[in-house]
Structures are given as structure tokens and as C-alpha cells.
Chains A and B, each alone.
Chain A
């Protein structure tokens, strides 16, 4: 899941080398904290969060075989 989110984010940003994802284990859910270069924030959030929403939707579908919920958080 971590690698997948990194791959999606790297395909969208101008500075793929600055993309990193940290996994935070919670009870019944896995939080994926996505970090990108400051000037790439817009590239993963989008107008009215449209890109962020699309990322969450595909990640949710990709997590179908996981036994826990996947939460994608974009952090500064």
C-alpha cells in the first residue's frame, strides 16, 4: 500500500524524489501519511481537493484485499 501510494504520487508531482509515505498503524486501520515537496502540494490536492479525493478513492479500491481500512493523509 505504501509503495502504491508513493508510485501514484510520484506520477503526479514535479519532484518525485521528494515523495515519501509513512505508515502509521492504528487499530483496524492503516494511516498512510503522504509528504511531497511544498510546491507540489497542489499537484496531490487539486482544486477543491479533487485530486486528493481521487487518490483516496483508488486507494480504497486497491485496499480491497487488505483486512483493514486505509486512510490517506496528506501532511505538510
Chain B
């Protein structure tokens, strides 16, 4: 074994031909064996990440736990923050590349879950706290709140944190990598505009605004097929008037198409009819300077509203 330079507990030996000791050493024959060495997932992971960690100047303890479909790689050590990066960016990249390396040329898929100094654990706690705080706000104000873009793993944490939460529901809008969680009130409610808007006023404001939107009729019709039947937040449209003054939207060429619908809003009652278009908009989200979102058509839903103080909270590092 020593000659081959592989650990003895990792080789498989198949005897092809039994050895014979012969009679009085006469006619003795060596056994013929086949020795095979299987590179394990563990070897592959270590071979891949060790040089990277070396370059980063860290040498954390690495604990690899192999499960049926999932392998967890936990790293702990001094200065390991470099392997986490801003909001876990480096850790996510490292995890993604490792999973490609592990699953390359493999028929089954093994999920790789990587953590450094319990970053993910702490991040989860932060997200759950954030989710609860946002839900409280949504219940109180009955306005929907859209969180900042998150990866699927983080969005799932928010969804499951609020699954049993009374009077709110969660959904996602936008496309990767700008997909965002929306927390909506399921108790009717007002709008995405200022607190307690007088409904009449807002609808009036929307009608004025309607002129701007006429030009997008074609877009609206095209998107009609994709509409999702969200029946909540019946007052959503009421907030439209406020958007005119919203810097993010007023000058936004990509913005929503509500063409031809104005009439419906005028007679809208606060209770939503799931089959009416009242609660829906076909919307393009285009924050300036965002290459992915601009110009791409986003799934129709409530208007995206940048939450006030949420954005900073969510970025916090544990």
C-alpha cells in the first residue's frame, strides 16, 4: 500500500487468483490482486478548496459530513471572514463551485452546504428576525412590503418563517438574481402608498396618471396571459397616485402598463374579486443602474415598493 501512496483504508482489494504456498516452498505462487482506489467526495472537496483557502491566507479546521444527498462542509478558524465575503458572497461562490466540482460527471446530485464560522446560522437568525418585523409592519399598516433581492436559500428562510404568521402571506417577484420576497397583508388593506390614504383621492390620482400609461397597451395585453391571480391587498391600486411622485418610478421608462384599466379602478370596492384585474398590474421593474431588472418583464404582482428602513437592516452582517 505504501508504494501506491494512498491510505490503506480507502482501497478496495479484489483477489483474482489465490496464492499458493506450495509444498516445501516448491511451486509457490504469489496471489494476484486488483487494487482500486476510489476518490471520495471528501477528497475532491478538500483538493478543491484547500489551495483556495491557502491563497486567502487562512487554514480553518474543515469538518465534512457526508449524508445521502447532502454534504456539509463546516469551516472554523481565525480570520475566516475573508472566505465569507460581503453578505456571504465569497462563501456562496465557493459553495457553488465546490458543488460543480463534486457533481461533475456524476449521475446523482449531491447538495453541498458550506458554512464558515456559523455565518449561515447567524444569517438565518437575522432573516427570521427581519421577517417577523416586516410582518408586524404589514399587519399594522396593511401595506405590502417587498424585500431586497435574495438568493433562493434566503428567500426560503423568509417564506418558512412567515408560513404560520397570521394575516400575512409571502410570494416572490422578479427574476434571478433579483428575485425578491413580497410580504402581503391578507386582510384587505390599503395600498403601497402612504399610511391611511383616502381611497377616493388615490383613485382620482390614478386616473390622472392613467394618461401616461396608455402607450403601453400592447404590453399590457401581451402580459395578460401571464397574470397571477393574487386576490389579496385589494387596495393596492389605490397607491398608484403616490407613485407619480416617487422618484424611483416617475421617470422610469420601464414602468408598468395599466392601460385601459382605469375605469375598473374607479368603481373598485375594497374587497378583491380574484378574477378581476383590479389587483394586478403588469409591471416592469427598472431601477436605474440595475442591468438585470431594466427592460426585463417581471411577473405581474403588486408594485414593488422599496421598503423604508428594511434595506439597511437586511444587509447587516451577523
Contacts and interface: CB of A to CB of B under 8 A. Distances in A.
Interface string B76-120: 000000110100011011101100110011000000000000000
A61 B82 contact: yes
Nearest to A50: B96
Interface residues on B, range: 20 to 34
A7 B96 CA distance: 16
Given A12-B104, A64-B57, A65-B57, A54 B52 contact: no
A35 to B, nearest CB: 19
Contact of B51 (A7, A12, A14, A61): A7
Given A61-B90, A64-B57, A51 B100 contact: yes
Q: Would you call the interface of chain B mostly helix, strand, loop, or mixed?
A: helix
A4 interface: yes
Contact of A8 (B56, B97, B105): B97
Main secondary structure of the interface of A (DSSP, over half): helix
A74 B52 CA distance: 19
Nearest to A63: B55
B89 A57 contact: yes
A70 to B, nearest CB: 10
A51 B55 CA distance: 20
A16 B139 CA distance: 56
B48 interface: yes
B48 A11 contact: yes
B100 A12 contact: yes
Contact of B52 (A4, A14, A50, A65): A4
A74 B45 CA distance: 24
A31 interface: no
Contact of A62 (B47, B56, B104): B56
Interface in A1-51: 1, 4, 7-8, 11-12, 14, 50-51
Contacts of A64: 55-57, 82
Query: A7, A54, A63, A65: which has the most chain B beta carbons within 10 Å?
Result: A54
B85 A61 contact: yes
Given A4-B55, A11-B101, A57-B92, 9 more contacts: A12-B100, A54-B97, A58-B94, A58-B97, A60-B90, A61-B83, A61-B90, A62-B52, A65-B57
- Please give me the 8 A-B residue pairs with the lowest Cβ-Cβ distance, nearest first: A62-B55, A57-B93, A54-B93, A61-B90, A11-B101, A54-B96, A58-B93, A54-B97
27 contacts: A1-B55, A4-B51, A7-B51, A8-B48, A11-B48, A11-B97, A11-B101, A12-B100, A12-B101, A51-B97, A53-B93, A54-B92, A54-B93, A57-B90, A57-B92, A57-B93, A58-B52, A58-B94, A60-B90, A61-B56, A61-B82, A61-B85, A61-B90, A62-B55, A63-B55, A64-B55, A65-B55
